[in-house]
Amino acid sequence: MMKKHLQPCLLFSIACMTLSSCFGDDPANAECDIEHAWIHVDNPRSVFYNAYDTLVTVASTDNEITFETKGEAIQHAPIFFKTTPGSSIFILEKNGLETPFINGSLVDFSGAQIITFRVRSEDHHYLRDYQVQVKPRPEMPVNPLFNFDNNFELTTIKEDDDNPYYTWTETDAKIKWWASGNAGYRLTGLKVGPLDYPTCPELETGVDGKNCLKLTTRDTGSLGKMVNMPLAAGNLFSGSFDTENAMKEPLSATRMGQPYAHKPIRMTGFYKFKRGEIMQDREKNPLDGEVDYPDFYCVVYRNSDEKGNPILLDGSNVLSSPAIVGMGRISKSEINADGTEWRPFSIEIAYTQDISEEDVYDYKYNTAVVFSSSMRGAEFIGAPGSTLWIDNVKLECAY
């Protein structure tokens, strides 16, 4: 289905390589975004799993802001917003009227009801609506099975967008577990269909005859070459993607890992892989004698430091951070590249230190599950056309 957004606008400026969500003749006074939202409670750790859960950094592509609590949703709480300069914020009443909102005002979030806030640009020509909710954190089940059958949908940046791409959710769309680099690929300006993005579903070809996940390493065209990012590996990972940093800091744009209240010990599933013909470096020069490999792995890491500051790994450190406590990764020797038949895989997750059940159940660790069509895709090195199919992935947990 098509995901609807209420009048958000997007401007991608090749000259500046920046992204904003609303545009007009004067971008300085036509923006209408919420950049950060935070709630004040007297004892954050009694309500939230971590004190930093009271703050939400809002991506430019998001119009939903959710604060996740330990249990019952809080009722009246003061909420604050940082919006783009010059903009104004309102509560959108059920009758359609706009009530000016003052930062720090009490808002009734009881019953996990959704409150709509409207942001208007300084010139009042542009607006964007956000749905804000406080609710108990939805729990990813123990031993989850990711079959990629029907949990995908077309997503657009703006309502009249003619360049949609696919996104994935889990457990009846309650958990935004998955992310990909599709939003970054969109910035190349290439006009392709949603099935020609690096990450997409493939229908009725899965291991059980149903749908599966298809990841393809794609050329990024003239713009990608100009910014020294000549290809985009198809990827899917548990986490989020920061579109605003996709051109400036692409590795940090892939925010990998989701809080998970179970301890994975093994990742199993099925794959097919077909290599692209020519392995190339970041300047698109052929790498003679080298061939492409896919990558899939599971990483478990601490999501806060000893002072309570949040830790979120990204493409630059997801395999090397000292916060990592457990990891399992496919090896090159295990890969079959005939691309013709489904093959099972099983990856053991080895832990380098003991972790307590209490901390696991209290969401002190993130789990990053990552799939990529090119093992060196984060370096923009790979073989265009390399394709990885993934299906029926299961995380086996100790508890």
Final residue in a domain of this structure, among 85, 101, 136: 136
225's tokens: 């070459």
CB 274 within 8 A of CB 387: yes
Whether 268 is in a domain gets the answer: yes
Please indicate, yes or no, whether residues 56 and 110 belong to a single structural domain of this protein: yes
Percent of the chain with pLDDT over 70: 90
Please indicate, yes or no, whether residues 363 and 260 belong to a single structural domain of this protein: yes
Final residue in a domain of this structure, among 109, 136, 163: 136
Please indicate, yes or no, whether residues 339 and 200 belong to a single structural domain of this protein: yes
What does the pLDDT look like over 318-335, one tens digit per residue? 999 999 999 999 999 999
Q: By C-alpha distance, which of 18, 23, 19 is closest to 7?
A: 23
Please indicate, yes or no, whether residues 236 and 352 belong to a single structural domain of this protein: yes
Whether 66 is in a domain gets the answer: yes
Whether 389 is in a domain gets the answer: yes
Whether 292 is in a domain gets the answer: yes
Q: Which residues pair with 372 in a beta bridge?
A: 235, 295
Whether 36 is in a domain gets the answer: yes
Q: What is the CATH number of the domain that holds 36?
A: 2.60.40.2340
Listing DSSP states for 186-237 in one string gives HTT-----GGGSSEEEETT-STTSS-EEEEE-EE-HHHHHHTT--EE--EEE
The one-letter code for the residue type at 102 is: I
Please indicate, yes or no, whether residues 115 and 149 belong to a single structural domain of this protein: no
Residue 178, phi then psi, degrees to nearest 5: -100, 150
Averaged pLDDT score across all residues of the chain = 90
Q: With bands split at pLDDT 50, 70 and 90, how would you rate the model's confidence at 313?
A: very high
How many separate domains does the chain show?
2
Please indicate, yes or no, whether residues 176 and 99 belong to a single structural domain of this protein: no
Residue 51, phi then psi, degrees to nearest 5: -60, -35
Please indicate, yes or no, whether residues 170 and 85 belong to a single structural domain of this protein: no
Please indicate, yes or no, whether residues 88 and 205 belong to a single structural domain of this protein: no
Please indicate, yes or no, whether residues 33 and 158 belong to a single structural domain of this protein: no
Quote the CA–CA distance of 92 and 95 in Å, as a whole number: 8
Final residue in a domain of this structure, among 115, 136, 157: 136
Q: What is the mean pLDDT of residues 351-378?
A: 98
DSSP state letter for 253: H
26's tokens: 């004067």
Whether 18 is in a domain gets the answer: yes
Please indicate, yes or no, whether residues 149 and 126 belong to a single structural domain of this protein: no
Q: With bands split at pLDDT 50, 70 and 90, how would you rate the model's confidence at 358?
A: very high
Q: What is the CATH number of the domain that holds 259?
A: 2.60.120.890
Q: How many CB atoms lie within 10 A of CB 262?
A: 21
Please indicate, yes or no, whether residues 101 and 203 belong to a single structural domain of this protein: no
- Residue linked to tokens 């606008």: 9
What does the pLDDT look like over 217-256, one tens digit per residue? 999 999 999 999 999 999 999 999 988 888 889 999 999 9
Quote the CA–CA distance of 204 and 211 in Å, as a whole number: 5
Please indicate, yes or no, whether residues 122 and 157 belong to a single structural domain of this protein: no
Q: With bands split at pLDDT 50, 70 and 90, how would you rate the model's confidence at 23?
A: very low
Whether 359 is in a domain gets the answer: yes
| Domain assignment of residue 17, given as a range | 11-136
